[in-house]
Structure 1
């Protein structure tokens, strides 16, 4: 459509209302754009003018002013701006700060009109030769379609030769505009009510039409009878007041709904902020624990390196000492050989001493070889355990790194969800920018969720590997316990303790006080066997759960019937021995409930660590070599 204001119009001013439909349809289907972001309105027919941005009230005033006509505006411009006026009132009425009034002459504001708005059409003559289907209401609706009638009713005379038509328009202000244009069209064609009234016997079949008012309503005849039966009398002011009431009601409802949504939005924002603060505190605590762990790990590695270096230095020194001893014995053998020339008796003595020295050198050499083999095997075992520990530590660190990544992803997902909820409550369905932002945040949330699933799968894999490493470490510890049993015997600071086995000394002391030595041994054996079997029974579980410093903890139930009877009959020492054995079994083998071996630090009365055990082995090996060298 040509929007320039300089082109000459190809139609007259009386045809303006007829030619407004085309630009009106272009405005409705979006070919011509009026509304822009941020509530800006622009006139599509005045491009290039100085003032481009309007508010609704100003743009409506501009469009209606041009459509009413000025001397420097042509008919085409008036038709375009009349279409813009209708578009603002019909399609963008919600943009108005106050309801618009229909442009009507001041003299008509208090006039009474038939409502719903009705146009009277008279002098309809049914002429079969004309080819027009006057009896069909669709014909009249199509004929007056430019005025958007809702219905047409026909009143024929008895012979169906002449008829009156009543054209009903919509009952709002837009309908009144259409009805007024309908009346103006017939006034321009000189076929209005005045011409109809002036002509007593109008010639021809031309129809006459006008907008029904109070005088038609009160008139006698078929027109007045129909209007009184089907219409009411109202002024334009009455209709405007109804429109204001109708428009204000949804505004109040929308304001109430906005307030409620704002309250919900504030609650969601508060909850989201609380979640973010809580996750931040957890991450800070996790970082502190992580730093403390790394510091302790570095100290442990430095200590282990220093210890291994000292062990290797001691071993090298022991090898040097053995070489010196071997040289001393060889020099002594040479000295003995020099004395062969002495007497036979001395010779025999020397041979005997030489034989003994050879045997001793051979034994010493074999002991040195065995010691070297034992040292190599033990060092391999130490290195293997060290390697397994390092692998386990690496896996633990990897698990912690994955856990950190998982927690960060969880916090990002929670934060994205919170932001997404806020955007959804703030979003307007017509606001494409906000909808695009919401879609982008949804895509980001899905990506974070997929990344978190990958982290979770990797975390599961690392947990399985950590479990395998723990099993390997436990197998290595079992081999250390087995080797300890074979290498050492007697009472030592580090040794093997049978966890869950009752200490027989308490039973021996109690039985010796009641029986003679022979009976005491038998009774001690019976009591120990009896209570050892009770410890193996899963059904006997003399514990109870109590709250200690806000945490639940299992403690011995001293009110248990069996324990109360034992304490009453045999005293507190036996009671303590049985309870100690039960605690050990409940801690070290609660499922199997049988006695197991464990590395134990008898000096500190606690479970021996691998570090304490290895230090004990190296110390005993060094003492053993020193004693053997002195021998």
Structure 2
């Protein structure tokens, strides 16, 4: 690659890496980026061709000017007009014309000259150039580059050799004024009334040079104390493109016989017209108004020195960019290693928690099975003792009947009979007392069981396993109460001194003591499980809160839902139908604020309890007879009513005590509460996608 425009080429390469990723974007976006690069980095037309497709602007039939924001759409129309052949650009295989400069003295151009003319006018900063004129010439430049570039290659090789590159053809060690400047002399002057000289402005001369394709940035006329000196300095861009234009400027006047040597030649006909050349060392060191101006605003440099300076800047830029890339790669590698370690640690923690939870669940299941076994055993013993009491009662009744039928023939027999009857009555009384005690114990058992069943139905599903453990404890207490009742029964029955009953009482007392010890052990074990359950649940809740914070802005299958929040769309739709677009937004805000206040009111509880079919437990449902809900449904319809009832159910389920909106991890695809495992899986999937994107970049 030559030294021409090295800095511009480096900047172009840095920007093309991002352009390749956005190749499918709109043509207007390409135009803005291309125009920006060309204006700020001074890219040459060949480099502009490497940027890909662009959108250039042109003129329209309307004489009115356009704004900068309308240039893109305007340029598309003009480019399509050129491409369709409505405007003639190509006159012959090697001759072209500008359809937007019909009054130009030069009717035809070569391809390269016309491209330089179109680019110069299109990128001109002159206020005299309208937006339409600039857009038209930019569209022409695009048409030449994209649609007529192949035709330009048909130029004869001999002619191309004659044209050549003026930068390569000139002396690389010749000192020129930098930034590149040209000198114009013999500009016509006129005398004013006060005796001073005057002349045309430099902007007119600059526009003429732009039309000729030299593209100067500025033309400054030189003045002294007598007025206009008849000379001017032509300023070009500081880059290689500016040097190229300056050398073409010098060569054009030299070929036309109006170069520096022609101006300095003293023989020959009188001088007429403008003479111009590129500013060199002798102009810079001259003791005249031109030399003074050049020394104030420029330096002397050779092309070789400028090339070396650009090469040093490029090398330094490449080194800095390489160092920056290495630092970024190192930082990315460290972040990836840290991320991998944290992910591995998180995965291990989750596996450990899952194992602990499984173990805990298996222990709770075992406890539940043992508890059910104890309960079944207690009820079986209770039924067995009840049957034994009934059997004893029947035996005593039969014995009483037999005693009543006896006839006492003498006083002794009557006394014995009376004593037997009295004894039988005493035993019947004891049995009745024992039966009453047993009935009381049964009623207490039923009441305790009923209370326990009602409590189990009202508690949340998250603590069902702990309630079953409490049930086990309570059933053991019931067994203790039953044993105490049996003990009281046996004590009453043992008043007659029966040794067998006394022994049975001792066994019952011993069993009662064992049950109390078993109850104490079970209570201790239950407390241990409760502590472990709370600790595990706290850890899981913390992990769930972290996932909620991370996924607040996500739009994936797993996200965050605000439980108890009112949906505004049903209210807006209902109010629009009712009030016909009149103050709908203000009314909707007032209605929503009112119902949000209702939802936060702890005294408003529009629920009722019903028993489900084929089930014993009761559940809470919306009370459709509530006055506020009925008025809402009658006033605004089913949409707002369903939105309010849904918010009520969510608040009652997730935050019944606080009555405010809470956030919950939610499966948006299936519209249900998401598990912690689903949230972690979604988080890992997103991390893998981000990792693959960085790898592709």
TM-score for the superposition, normalised by structure 1:
0.50
Q: Which has the larger radius of gyration?
A: 1
TM-score for the superposition, normalised by structure 2:
0.46
